[in-house]
Structure formats: structure tokens, C-alpha cells
Amino acid sequence: MSFEDFARSHGLIIGSLETNKWVSTATEDHPNKRNGRYKYLGDVGWVQNWATMERPEMWRGMTTTPMIDMKKRIYQANQERLAAQRKAADRAAWIMGQTQMKTHKYLEKKGFPEEIAPVWEREGKSLLVLPMRIGRDLAGVQLISDEREKQFLNGQKTKGAVLTIDAKGLPIFCEGFATALTVRRLMKIINIRYTVHCCFSAGNMKEVANGINGGIVIADNDLSMTGEKAARDTGKPYWMAPTAGQDLNDYWLTVGDFRASQSIKPLMIRAFSAGTLPRTAESVRGKSQTSETALGA
């Protein structure tokens, strides 16, 4: 199998093949975004689809390169990858230091005009900055523009990286930040404590959810069925928007608080029956604002 065919089998769309560096590219499930990446060295290469893969997959071509030389090349590529992750983490920390806690047009469009979050004013652009942590360590950030364009930092580690909105309750796993804010709103309405893990992709959602006992999943209804497949693979109860192409935030914006909260209630009952739902809840009052521990540097 050629490298292009290997990349295509993982959903990557490659135009002109570039060599000796990590290259961002579109994917079949997200053709309008650079949601994939690859590195091609001629006789060996790696591909990753952020939406479906927790880590890069390696390709080896038909080659006469001695095995010892091949191992050296793979080792060198792995060292470069680790160095890129460290550089991205440092860059993320610097970016977080440039932010101010304020409102953002993206959040306004998603139904949260008063939400306070880190915003980086850069070269005439206002970028929402979402910190991605592995444990307590900052691994990278997701940047979102006013026009809803999303991107990660080059080389950052995304496997296992989350943004957690914590109220010491039921673990809830989802992909996007707007969905996480919607979950928080609906859980307050039905008066149940929550710990929302925003995982940034379906593949990473599965990775994170599989590492935490109990909880539920809020899946995106992708046309590619990527979100539903990831939710099923966790083995946890899950909710998915009834309309293809929607996530929970889209659904909530369409039907409002009551219908959206009632829609997810049966999932709460299943979680309660499984013993994963807190039996008491604290009412949360006041202006909508994500905790600084979740979004601060």
C-alpha cells in the first residue's frame, strides 16, 4: 500500500505530498478544516486524524533500507515529536500569559454572550484560547476565531488532554467547548452536580472516558458517525442529538432549555441506576462563568 493510500484509509486528504516535516491537511470527515496531519520520510511515515485517532499510525513502505538505519530514523522522528510537544507546551504557556478574561463572539454565537474566558488579541484578531491539560500540566491550547475557525498548536500533544469544568459530580465527556458549556447549563437546570471533560475530538473523548470510571458521554451526531462510534466504544451510556450534523449545543439552541434538559434526563436516570450519579446536588446561582482553575494558566 502506498503512503497516500495509507493516509486515505485513515481519512486524510493529501494534495501535493510533502516530505520530511509534519504537514496539516484536511480530512474526509472535516474537509473544511485541517483536522489531520502526516509526516512522510520516503520509506516510513506517520498519519493522524485528530477526530478518530489518539496517536499517529506508522506506515512502512517496501524498502531496502537496513533495519538498523530504519530504527535510527524512527528514533529520530520520535525525538523530534517529543521536542515539538515540549515547544508547543511552552508556546501554550506563553499564549495563556497574553490573554485576558473576557467575552468572545464565538461564545456569543453559541448562546453564551456573558461567558468569561481567556481571549488573546493578536494582529487584529480576537482568539478564544482554551487550555488543554494532561493532569495538571498544560500540553497545548485550542484557538478559536470569531469566524469559528479552530486550530491546535503545531506539534502539541492532544492525546489525553482535556479542559475540565469541575463541580465535583457526575463525569460527563464531550468533544467541544460549546457542548461542555451547554452540558453545564442543563445540569444546573436539573440540579445535578457534574464534572465536564471537554476532550476536543471524538478519538480523544474515547481515550479520556476509558480512563475514568463511570460517567456518561454526550456525542456529536456527525454525518460520518465518528462521534457515535467513539461513544459506543467507551461502553458508557451516551446521548446524541437527533439530527445529523448537530451536537448538544446546536440542539439546545434549536429547542431551548426545557426540551434539551428533558431530553438528557433519561441518561441521568441510567447513570443513577449504575451508581455513578451523585445523590445530592448543589444549586449553582449567579452569572455564567467557567472556573478560573479550568481556564486560567
Quick one: pLDDT at residue 154?
A: 86
Residue 265's pLDDT is: 87
Confidence of residue 61 (pLDDT cuts 50, 70, 90): confident
Q: Residue 67's pLDDT band (boundaries 50, 70, 90)?
A: low
Cell of 42: 520516503
Question: How high is the mean pLDDT of the chain?
Answer: 87
Rounded average pLDDT over 68-94: 85
Please compute the mean of the pLDDT values over residues 214-220 and round it to a whole number.
Answer: 94
User: At a CB cut-off of 8 Å and minimum separation 6, what does 216 contact?
Assistant: 170, 171, 172, 173, 236, 237, 238, 239, 267, 268, 270, 271, 276
pLDDT digits (tens, 9 = 90+) for 159-205: 999 999 987 889 999 999 999 999 999 999 998 889 999 999 999 99
Can you give the pLDDT at residue 79? 85
* β-pairing verdict for 216-219 and 238-240: parallel
Average pLDDT over residues 51-60: 82
Look at residue 232 and tell me whether its pLDDT is greater than 70.
yes
How far apart CA 119 and CA 250 sit, in angstroms, is: 23
Percent of the chain at pLDDT exceeding 90: 57
Under DSSP, the state recorded for 107 is H
Residue 180, CB half-sphere, CA atoms under 13 Å: how many? Answer: 28
Q: Range with the lowest mean pLDDT among 25-29, 137-141, 252-256, 268-272?
A: 268-272
Q: What is the pLDDT of residue 288?
A: 35
> Residues 251, 260: contact at Cβ < 8 Å?
yes
Structural contact between residues 77 and 39, judged by C-beta atoms closer than 8 angstroms:
yes
Task: Give the per-residue pLDDT at 235.
Answer: 93
Q: Does the structure show a pLDDT above 60 at 153?
A: yes
pLDDT of residue 110: 97
Mean pLDDT, to the nearest integer, of 91-104?
97
Instruction: Give mean pLDDT, residues 241-269.
Output: 93
pLDDT for position 276:
52
Condensed to tens digits (0 to 9), the pLDDT of residues 288-297 reads 334 444 676 5
94-98, 103-107, 213-217: least confident range: 213-217
